[in-house]
Structure formats: C-alpha cells, structure tokens
Structure 1
C-alpha cells in the first residue's frame, strides 16, 4: 500500500516536471522567435499598412513641343497640280480667289476649282497642309486687287459676308486654312479694317482647327534700307494669325528700276531686322514670321520678261550656285543656292518660323530643286545653343 502511494507521488512529480518544462521551453521559443522577427522581419512584416486616404495622382506638367520650321510655297491657280513636289513642303497655298466689292469671291474659272481640289488631295497624301489665298496683286476683273479688297473689308456687312464665304469654302474644299494677301493697306483706316477682317476670320476658322496666314509687304526700301511709310499695318493684327509671310523681294521697283535690287542678301538682312524688332516690341512670337524668297530672275532690261529659276539651271546647272547670269541678250539677277542657304540661316537665327516661296511653278525638278535646298536647310541640328545645317550639294 505504501509502495503504491509512493509510486503515485512519483508519477505526479514527473507530470508536474514535464508540464513546467514544456511551458518554460515554449516561453523561451516564443521570446527567441519575437527577437528574430525584430532583427530580420519577414516580407509580410515589412509591408506598410494601407492608408485609408484616397491617393490622387499628380498631373504631369504639360510640355509644349517646339514647332517645326515651316516651308510654305505659293502656287498659281493655272499650274498643273501634278507638277508640284508637295513632299518638301509643310504648306502649299493656292493663289488666288478674288474678292468683290460686296464681299463675295470669284474664281479664275472652272479650271481653278478643279486644280484646287487636285492640289488638296495630293498635298494631303504627303501630309502637307493646303491653304487658299485671297487677293494678290491683280484682280480677275482687271486692274489691281486693292480697290476690291478695300471695299469688301471697309463695310461691316460685306466684311462679314467675305469672312463667311471663305469659311464656307475652307470647309467644303477640305482646306487647312486661308491666306490673306491684301496688297497693300495704304492708310490707318485700311490697317484698321484689315485687322478687323483678320480677327473676324480667326474667330471663325481657329475653332475649326484651321490656320490663317497673311502675306505682308517687306516694309523696307531696298536702296535706302529704311522703313517704308506708305504701307501700314496694325501690329495687333498679327496676334490673330498663325504665320506672317514676308514678301522680301521685288525690291527692283524701289527708286529707279534696278534688277539687282530684286532680293539681295543685305536687303534681306534689313527686312529681318525690322520684323524682328517689331515683333519683339509688341511681344509677339517671332516663330510666326516666315521669310519669303523669289524663285524667279529679274532682267536688267525692263522690257524683257522675268524668267524662272528652272529656266536658268536648265540652261546650265552651274548657274544654281550664282546670283547673276547673262541670257537672252540681257543680264538676270536672282538668288542661287548659296544665297538661299544664307537667308534661311539668317531667318532661323533670328527666331523666324521658316521660309516662304514665290512661286512653286518656277522651281526646277530633281536634284536642282530650290525647294529641296530650302527643305534640307530647314532640317536643323541644335547643339549647345549653336545652330547647324545640312548643306545642299549642287553640281
């Protein structure tokens, strides 16, 4: 009996010992594991708890990409649209429709509309914008276009009609914009009316994602290099257009006739300086400025007609690198490749947006194309604030 009691006590002591030891060991293990987790937390322990706040992603600032340099070419309405190389151009401008006194528009004939539609189709195939110009120097009904254009924009009723007519044509013919060529505002009243017309056209076309350009007189006398006062523009007008096409040619008529003043480089320097200062003073982007160059040659004998650059280089390809040539019993003055390259660099270095051509029908084809020279020159490389150009090779 005593032995049995002793055995029971012994078993009880063993059970107590095992239970106590297990509890103690478990406590040591838990303490050790907690220490390890603090020193080397698991992936789950490292994940931060989710916030109860709704996070709103920050908007990235809008970065305006720089506008590409433009190459704008005018083409006359009688030209065969299939002869124009649209691939080198950013814009092609069909010239012209004519304003009437009461604000309607006139076409040169059925062929003009047909040529326009062909031009638009071919231009768009090359991702080139197609524009229609109104005005020009001569009017379809005879004489200068000035008096017709002046009447159309002087009266609010006819001005509104002309704006609506041009907007309608732009939509119907799938145009990318309208070019204004009022040659030229001769008074403050003319300038005011032209500004009102331009503003009104802008309010119609820009919401439709269509552009407006305007052709302007150079404002510089080719002989004296001074500002010409008999052509007047209201600077505020240029806020409403996308491009200002400066007609920096036909200087041969300044003073006594001199073919050498057609469009020499020093004359162009004065033109660029004038328009740069004007836009800076009025805080208008100079990127809108487009420098115009001639694709034709002026004869020293005023009784002889102008000839095209294409005719000059067809006679002898070497003439592409000259600015003067003797042909047809007279001497012609024009702009060859080196001068065109210098003018392009001059425009770009002064912040201009590109170059303008009058007129595409005068250009040569193939490797001698002057539009090709300008297009290549406009493909600029900018590096550390310096401007470099790809140079055209003409043999």
Structure 2
C-alpha cells in the first residue's frame, strides 16, 4: 500500500512539472506569434527595415458657414482671395431662347478654368451662374431666360447644357440668376427649372444655388409684389443668395438706399418668416452684401470698395465718403460685421458678396472682415475638415 502511494505521488509530481514546462513553452511561442509581422531583409542594417506607411483618408473641407463670392467673367482670377471663400460663383453665362448656353467669348472660358485651378488649392468650390441682369446680345436677360424655361423642351435642353458644362469643366455646381420672375407663370416655370436641374446635379454631388431679389422696398420697407417666387422651389436648392442691395432705385434714385442696415434688417426678417412658415431650412439662406459704392450724383459711376481704400485706408470703417465731387454710400467693415451677426443670429447659413472683384486687398478686405467675423461668431473656422467618404 505504501509503495502504491509513493508511485502515485511520483506520477502526480511528474505531471505537475510537465504542465509547468508546457505552459512556459506555450507562452514563449505565443509571444512570438503576437509580434507584428515585418519584412526581414537578411544582412540589412536596422535603419533599412521600415514599416509600410498607412495611407490616411483624404480630408475634404466642409464649411460650417458659407462665404460666397460672385466674380465677373472678365476679372483677373488672381485678385480673388480663395482662402477666405467657401464658394466662388463665376458670372455669367447667358441663356438662349431655345435653351442653349453662351459664354461671352474665349476669355471668360479661359478665366473660368483658371479660377477652378486656383480654387482647388484651397478646397474652395466653384459654381457657374447663368443669367444676370444684362444679356450678351443686349438688353435684359429676362427676355431670353423666360422663353428658355417656359417651354418644357427648351428647359430640358438648358438643364442638359448646364449639367454638361458643370461636368466638363469640373465645377461644383450651378447658380440660377433669373432677374426677375414677374408673374405666377414665371414663378412656376422657375420652380420647374430648379427641380429639373437639381435632379441632374445632386446625383453628381454638385450644388445648386439661386440668387433672389430682396423682396423688400428700400424706402417703404414693405414687401414688393412685382417679383414672385414659389416657396416650394427652395427645397431643391442648396443656397438662396439674397441680393440685399441696389435699393437706391426704389422710389426714385437715392444712393443712401443702396444697402443701409435697417433695410437689411427688414430683408432678413422677411426671409426668416417665409422659411419658417414653409418649414424650410434657414441654413439655405445667405445674406448678400455689396462691395461697391453708390454716388449721390447719378451721372457719376459707381466705384469699388478697393478704390475707396486706395484713396484713404481710414475710410474702411465708414459708410460714406466724399470723392470725385460727390458723396458715395457703401458698407464699410463695421457694417459688414453687424450684418454678419444679424444673419447668423437668424440662423442663416452664411454671407454672400457682389462682387469680390471690387473688394480691397490686404487688411481692409471686406472678404477678410466677413470671414473673420464668421469664425468669431460661429466659434469655429469658416472651413473645417471631415474625412471624405466617412
């Protein structure tokens, strides 16, 4: 019996020790397997053995608040401060009555392509505006735009032409500038045009914006009825660029009515109420401001904000200046900050300028002033980053 116990104890001891040795060997082998695999080059110095770099996802700028700048087709593309803008809207191409699209010669097309290349460096989007006030063939664009969008066949042709241009020229979208829909039929046809163009652009990841009249009379500060829009149209666009300027023509010429702050307040309130009533996102609303000055003497031409600053940088913060034998009215830096706050306080998606080719360069630039104010008010940069495709 004693021998049996001794034999049993010996078996248990051997089993126990064997288990320990097995565990140690398994642990060492397992540690080796858990090491990251590395390509080993025999006899190579340690410095030559490098892990393959992991490619990071491409980052794409997405604006929290937009700053849109129109630029006319004859401007030097080098004067635009792309770094401060989220969008550049190249203006204009012209509609034909049968739904065609016309550039104003070879230079505009060349300039557009230059704008696209320069904007790409800053991830600034480039859109192409169709319409405007004047037409390449003379007179108002209205007389060409209206028939183009009134007939289903010519409207479909115009949609196709614009979509093809957007794809061919690597644009980020199209801007509609139909000035101005004057009847219920105009409003209906414009809405149909926006819907059909949206259906072509959005699947291609391209944007659609529309420039709209302020809808407020600069003198009476009441709604004007001679311009009509179908509110349902705004569901199809990404940005509604409100032309909150050129009030000098309302109720008899008065340069002081170009774009004063009380006028802008009424405009902002009108569009805020309209979008709230129809349950539309106010983020689509973009408040437009002028970068030019209007003379009290109508025989004298407008001047750019750049010309005012070149005359005297001290005029940057003012809204009036005496030059060329007359008094000019404009929006200086202080007013631009105030308007930017007004827009954001009402839930607008950002600001728009007509047009950046008239802006001053350097520290007094209105583009820079508005951009800085958007950053300060939004408590984040105008442009932030997100991983593309995530």
Question: Same-fold call, TM > 0.5?
Answer: yes
Select the residue among 293, 308, 311 that pairs with 1:312. 308
1:80 shift after superposition: 0.8
Contact kept, 8 Å, 1:269 with 1:346, in 2: the verdict is yes
| From 207, 210, 214, the counterpart of 1:211 | 207
Is 1:357 the counterpart of 2:353 in the alignment? yes
Aligned to 1:164: 160
Match of 2:83 in 1: 87
Two-structure CA RMSD over aligned residues (Å): 2.0
Tell me the alpha carbon deviations over residues 172-208 of structure 1, each in whole angstroms, 9 at most, x when there is no partner.
0000000000000000000000000000000000000
In the alignment, is residue 110 of structure 1 matched against residue 115 of structure 2? no
**Which position in structure 2 is the counterpart of 1:47?**
none
Distance 1:327 1:352 in 2: 35
Segments of 5+ residues of structure 2 without an aligned counterpart are 10-60, 383-390
> Among 271, 275, 283, which residue is 2:267 paired with?
271
Of structures 1 and 2, the larger Rg is shown by 1
Deviation at 1:380, TM superposition (A): 3.4
Whether the 8 Å CA contact 1:381–1:388 is kept in 2: the answer is no
Report the Cα offset of residue 125 of structure 1: 1.2
Which residue in 2 is equivalent to 1:250? 246
Note closer, same or farther for the CA distance 1:219–1:336 as it changes in structure 2 (3 Å cut): same
Q: Which residue of 2 aligns with 1:12?
A: none
**How far is the alpha carbon of 1:368 from its aligned partner?**
1.3
Q: Does 1:131 align with 2:118?
A: no
Q: 1:312 to 1:374 in 2, by over 3 A?
A: same
The answer to whether residue 325 in structure 2 is matched with residue 329 in structure 1 is: yes
- Does the residue aligned with 2:375 lie in a helix, a strand or coil? coil
Query: Deviating runs (4+, > 6 A) in structure 1?
Result: none
Residues 80-137 of structure 1: CA distance to partner in whole angstroms, max 9, x if unpaired? 1112111110000000000000000111111110011001111111110010000000
1:31 — aligned with what? none
Going from structure 1 to structure 2, the CA distance change for 1:203 and 1:269 (only over 3 Å counts) comes to same
- Is this contact kept in 1: 2:63–2:86, CA < 8 A? no
Match of 1:61 in 2: none
Aligned length: 331
- Residues 242 and 263 of structure 1: CA distance in aligned 2, closer, same or farther (over 3 Å): same
Query: What pairs up with 1:36-51 in 2 under 5 angstroms?
Result: none
CA distance in 2, matches of 1:105, 1:213: 18
Counterpart contact for 2:318–2:332, Cα < 8 Å: yes
Contact 2:341 2:377 in 1 (8 A): no
Q: RCO (CA 8 Å, sep 6+): is it higher in 1 or 2?
A: 2
Change beyond 3 A, Cα 1:328–1:108:
same
Whole-angstrom distance in 2 between the partners of 1:382 and 1:217: 26
Q: Give the distance between the partners of 2:121 and 2:77, measured in 1 at CA.
A: 13
**Counterpart check, 1:378 vs 2:374:** yes
User: Is the counterpart of residue 262 in structure 1 residue 270 in structure 2?
Assistant: no
Q: What is the SS of the residue equivalent to 1:380?
A: helix
* Alignment partner of 1:146 out of 142, 149, 166: 142
The two structures have a TM-score, normalised by structure 1, of 0.81
CA distance in structure 2 between the partners assigned to 1:324 and 1:251 by the alignment:
16
Query: Does residue 287 in structure 1 map to residue 283 in structure 2?
Result: yes
CA distance in 1: counterparts of 2:338 and 2:258, whole angstroms? 16
CA distance in 1, matches of 2:377, 2:241: 24
- What CA deviation, in whole Å up to 9, does each residue of 1:36-95 have, x standing for no partner? xxxxxxxxxxxxxxxxxxxxxxxxxxxxx9961000000000001112111110000000
Whether the aligned pair in 1 keeps the contact of 2:375 and 2:381 (CA below 8 Å) is: no
**Cross-structure match for 1:339:** 335
